[in-house]
């Protein structure tokens, strides 16, 4: 369930040109004057939006500490434009980079949820390639799902789902999180192969805190353990929550997430 947020319309940013143009909705909380804490940047999950519990609680926490906070919706999500079925990791990464380039936070803690963790890891790789890796002060990964298309979806496709991908370009899967089924497109799966991150050593250059529920039905906790094996050169902390699910949105889960955020370097 979403928590109440401001009734004011979100800011928007146009990303892409021509037929690829889409408006990305953003909510930006400015830092309190004189506050130099890193900006908290929320990267949501597949079919989630910036009005979800964790995203709103992150902003509330930022407001209490005086830090800036950036929330936004990928295209095809929430208040942003564009079709969800056009979405790919590359497309949502492009939008994430565009938001950061537009708002220009000096230092950031990236807080990703599920698929947002994949976007966060790709975003860090792109920023390091541009010589801007030092702008990332820390990384908090909640139920991380990097490479989920190749590691979690493709190996488990049924014959009917493979046929649907070949014939219709997508397949549908029921979800307990809402009345509409999840849609996974052939475009998303093909693009996912080009964006895999767990193919070798992942270097973030910053502290990483992973929070993972052991009762997660969507992303097995062994997937988080696998990710940790690919982060040998970083300062990594993992919190396994024995009774935690995929969402990790209970009050006690939120407390753990915000404590992980607070533990990131302030300078």
Question: How does pLDDT run across 54-96, given as a tens digit for each residue?
Answer: 999 999 999 999 999 999 999 999 999 999 999 999 999 999 9
Is the pLDDT score of 193 beyond 70?
yes
Q: What local confidence, expressed as pLDDT, does residue 134 receive?
A: 97
* Mean pLDDT computed over every residue of the chain: 95
Q: What local confidence, expressed as pLDDT, does residue 5 receive?
A: 47
Q: How many CA atoms lie within 13 A of 181 on its CB side?
A: 8
Domain spans, the chain = 11-262
The β-bridge partners of 14 are 23
Q: What is the CATH number of domain 11-262?
A: 3.40.50.1820
């Amino acid at each position: 369930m979403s928590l109440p947020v401001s009734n004011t319309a979100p800011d928007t940013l146009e990303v892409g040109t021509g037929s690829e143009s889409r408006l990305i909705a953003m909510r930006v909380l400015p830092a309190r004057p004189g506050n130099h804490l890193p900006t908290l940047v929320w990267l949501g999950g597949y079919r989630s939006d910036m009005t979800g519990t964790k995203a709103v609680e992150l902003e509330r926490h930022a407001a209490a500490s005086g830090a800036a906070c950036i929330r936004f919706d990928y295209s095809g999500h929430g208040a942003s434009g564009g079709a969800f079925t056009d979405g790919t990791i590359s497309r949502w990464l492009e939008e994430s980079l565009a938001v950061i380039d537009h708002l220009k936070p000096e230092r950031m803690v990236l807080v990703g949820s599920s698929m947002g963790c994949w976007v966060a890891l790709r975003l860090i790789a792109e920023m390091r390639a541009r010589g801007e890796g030092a702008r990332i002060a820390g990384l908090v990964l909640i139920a991380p799902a990097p490479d989920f298309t190749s590691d979690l979806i493709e190996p488990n496709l049924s014959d009917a789902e493979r046929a649907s991908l070949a014939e219709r370009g997508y397949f549908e899967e029921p979800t307990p999180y809402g009345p509409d089924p999840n849609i996974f497109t052939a475009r998303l799966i093909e693009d996912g192969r080009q964006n895999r991150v767990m193919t070798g050593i992942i270097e973030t250059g910053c502290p990483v805190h992973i929070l993972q529920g052991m009762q997660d039905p969507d992303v097995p906790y062994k997937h988080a353990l696998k990710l940790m094996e690919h982060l040998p050169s970083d300062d990594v902390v993992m919190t396994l929550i024995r009774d935690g699910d995929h969402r990790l949105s209970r009050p006690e889960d939120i407390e753990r997430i915000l404590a992980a955020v607070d533990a990131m370097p302030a300078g």
